[in-house]
Structure 1
Amino acid sequence: MEEHFVWVTTRRLRPGTLEEFERAWRPASPPRGLHRSYAYWSEDGQEVTGVSFWESREACDAWRDSEAEAQRREAMAPYVVEEREGFYRGRELALPQG
């Protein structure tokens, strides 16, 4: 079964700033080693969870330590009230057929 390397970040936003935050959130170019990413937001637009899938822990760490990521975080900072993040390893769950 294929193992995935996943970085999950949840941010609570200042009210009414989701649109501005989304513009600041997108990197200028795709990070090396990033396979795909998803964003999920609450109905009120005040919480956003990003889930990104990486080729390895090292690829994710290299992005997190990069100047491009530092600039991206600086651009997001005016809209963020709170941030939580974690790196995980896992795999797809096989669901029973039925």
Structure 2
Amino acid sequence: MEEHFVWVTTRRIQPGTLEEFERAWRPAPYPQGLRRAFAYWSEDGQEITGMSFWDSKEACDSWRASEPEAQRRAAMAPYVVQEREGFYHGRELAVSRR
């Protein structure tokens, strides 16, 4: 089974700022070592969970320590009320079809 390296961040944002937050949230340039990324929003649009899949923990750590990531976080800061994040590794689970 393929092992995945995943960075998960959940942010609560100011009410009514989802559009502005989304513009600030997108990285530019896209990081090296980033394989895939997903974003999930709560129904009220005030909580966003992002999941990014990386080649390795080192690739993720390199991005997190980079100047473009610092600039991205600064651009998001006015909208963020609370943030939680963690780095994980694991694999896809087989789901039986009944």
On whether the aligned pair clears a TM of 0.5, the verdict is yes
Give the TM-score normalised by the residue count of structure 1.
0.98
Measure, in 1, the Cα distance between the counterparts of 2:77 and 2:29. 19
Count of matched residue positions in the alignment of Structure 1 and Structure 2: 98
- Identify the residue that residue 43 of structure 1 maps to in structure 2: 43
Aligned to 1:93: 93
Q: Return 5+ residue gaps in structure 2 as ranges.
A: none
1:96 CA displacement:
1.5
Aligned counterpart, 1:32:
32
Work out whether 1:13 is the aligned partner of 2:13: yes
Please give the secondary structure, in 1, of the residue aligned with 2:49.
strand
Matched-pair contact (CA < 8 Å) for 2:11–2:80: yes
**1:4-56 C-alpha deviation (Å, 9 max, x unpaired):** 00000000000000000000000111100000100000010000000000000
Rounded to whole Å, the distance in 2 between the matches of 1:97 and 1:46 is 34
TM-score normalised by structure 2 residue count: 0.98
Task: Return the offset for 1:97.
Answer: 2.8
Q: Which runs of 5+ in 1 are unaligned?
A: none
Q: Distance in 1 between matches of 2:22 and 2:92?
A: 28
Q: Secondary structure at the match of 1:75?
A: helix
Residue 34 of structure 1 aligns with an amino acid whose one-letter code is: L
Name the % identity.
Answer: 78
Task: Say what the alpha-carbon RMSD is for the aligned residues.
Answer: 0.5
Which residue does the alignment assign to 1:82? 82
